Amino acid sequence: MIYGPDASKCPIKKQVLNAGKEPLPEFVDETKIFFHFLTTTQDGTVIDDTRKYKKPMEITLGHQFKIECWETCLKTMRLGEIAKFSVDKDLIGVYPAVAKQIRDYYKNQMKEHKHDEEHENHHCCGFMALEQGLGHEDLDRLMRHPEPLDFTFGM
């Protein structure tokens, strides 16, 4: 992220909604970060919200999370902070596929995982997902028509 006069050229813009209480320790590889996130389009349409699952998201730094800009954003935050990051569509083209994986993970956490005929089909490549869809209308639309998204993170 860029601060100062060149900030308007930065593909990620941060808006602090609730200031944090204390800085987090220095982020290094293998640091686990637990956070809630809300994903919205820039017109305010909610795409994903981890609070409905009552369990925060967890990523481990240095493990090449597929949405690289999330690590960049989270590293700027303080404990207790809530911030909204507006991210250019060029940085989040993989969001629909990752969001499907996240939704599937939470769905499986909320019910017993069974392997049977009703087990969902999982796509193994982006081209098949683009052709057949991800199984979520909102994510399919985003995949076909990428747009900037807002991510609100709470630490």
Q: Give the C-alpha distances (Å, rounded to integers) separating 103 from 36, 52, 97, 150.
A: 13, 11, 10, 18
Please classify residue 45 by burial: count the beta carbons closer than 10 Å to its beta carbon, then call 0-12 exposed, 13-18 middle and 19+ buried: exposed
For domain 7-110+122-154, is the CATH number 3.40.50.10860? no
CB atoms < 10 A from the CB of 20, how many? 16
Q: Taking residues 15-26, report their average pLDDT.
A: 85
CA-to-CA distance for 54 and 92, rounded, in angstroms? Answer: 25
Domains in the chain: boundaries: 7-110+122-154
Token digits for 25? 């320790």
Span 104-132, pLDDT tens digits? 999 888 775 454 444 455 444 444 445 56
